[in-house]
Amino acid sequence: MRLFLVRHGESEWNAQRLLQGQADVGLSERGRDQARALSATVQRFQPERVLVSDLARTRETAELLGYAEHEPVPALREINVGRWTGQNIDDLMTENAQAFQGWRSGIYTPPGGESWQTFKQRTNGVVAGLRSGALERALMVAHGGVIRALLEGLLGLSPGRVVPVSPASLTVLRLGPLNGSAEARLEAFNYRPDALAFDAPD
């Protein structure tokens, strides 16, 4: 099975560098343009199923990609960052750098937030369900954290070794059957039709 992973376009909080977690924040106008720019690329792959986080920014991204008909999946929501929700990323990096870097590496949980291990289990569980069927192509429109959690669960890439996922970018994984011997392979990461980005907001 080939799994196409798209992060939502830039949100209003991404534009302000605010950490959003599960806050239901909509896309910025730039984010809408980013999603439209990726639509032709994604549509060429003709996914058989389209699974989408049930938050507004991912659902709108799916619609702009050309998939108004999609399956909302709460388990694909971004990690819950607890009391850090709405906090400025630059302020967190300055005032609480060790904790922030620990969170980015999956070893620190913000107060009231969700642990990385719990998050990884719920997101990878969605993929396990897909692999148990006979799908050839599936599209997931989700969040940067979700994509990094899948990269760890499927490829063993720890979150601290993966740069933030760019808004409206495409990552592609090739997966064997759930109980098969074939390992997962990374076929593309952070692809955008306009330009590469290495400093995307979380």
DSSP string, 43-103: HTT--SEEEE-SSHHHHHHHHHHT-SS-EE-GGGSPPP-GGGTT-BHHHHHHHSHHHHHHH
At 177 the pLDDT is 72
Arithmetic mean of pLDDT over the chain: 94
Known catalytic membership, residue 78: yes
Q: Look up residue 137 and give its amino acid.
A: R
The 3-state DSSP class for residue 42 equals helix
Contact 107, 173 (CB under 8 A): no
174-192: pLDDT as tens digits: 998 766 556 899 999 999 9
Catalytic residue among 8, 60, 70, 143: 8
pTM of the shown model: 0.94
Residue 183 or residue 152, greater confidence? 152
Neighbours of 90 (CB within 10 A): 11
87-119: pLDDT as tens digits: 999 999 999 999 999 999 999 999 999 999 999
The 3-state DSSP class for residue 163 equals coil
The 3-state DSSP class for residue 173 equals strand
Known catalytic membership, residue 114: no
Residue 46 vs residues 30, 40, 114, 161, 162: alpha-carbon distances, Å: 25, 10, 34, 31, 28
Q: What is the DSSP letter of 27?
A: B
Contact 42, 170 (CB under 8 A): yes
Helix 144-155 to helix 116-131 angle (10° resolution) is 70
Catalytic residue among 78, 114, 143, 152: 78
